[in-house]
Amino acid sequence: MIVRQFCWLEPGRTVVEQVPGTDLDIIILHFGIMVYHENFKQLQDGVAIGLYYIQCQQLIYKNIIQCEHPTLIKLTALVLQAQLGDYTT
């Protein structure tokens, strides 16, 4: 049985120190941003913008961040447009 446990890792400490009772054969690490900007336009680095976009997309998909249905439809349309381009025909 796999138990999912989420926690923020602190720099300078090993994973085993921070997550007691872990089996090193089954640890899966995910990148996450701890600080969210109210205005994403403050992000300057292209890599940071890309990682921020991916994480927000995953959090909404996993229903960790909830949003209203009309907002979800608009975000879905924007994601499709970003990934597939404008619909022209």
Residue at 32 is within a domain: yes
Residue at 20 is within a domain: yes
Residue at 51 is within a domain: yes
Residue at 60 is within a domain: yes
Integer angstrom CA distances of residue 41 from 13, 26, 35, 47, 52: 32, 37, 14, 13, 11
Q: Count structural domains, the chain.
A: 1
In this prediction, residue 2 carries a pLDDT of 58
Residue at 2 is within a domain: no
In this prediction, residue 73 carries a pLDDT of 92
Q: Structural domain of residue 41, as residue ranges?
A: 15-84
Residue at 7 is within a domain: no
**pLDDT mean by block of 10 residues, the chain; 89 residues:** 68 79 67 70 82 83 84 88 80
Residue at 59 is within a domain: yes
Confidence (pTM): 0.50
* Contact criterion met (CB below 8 Å) for 71 and 52: no
Residue at 89 is within a domain: no
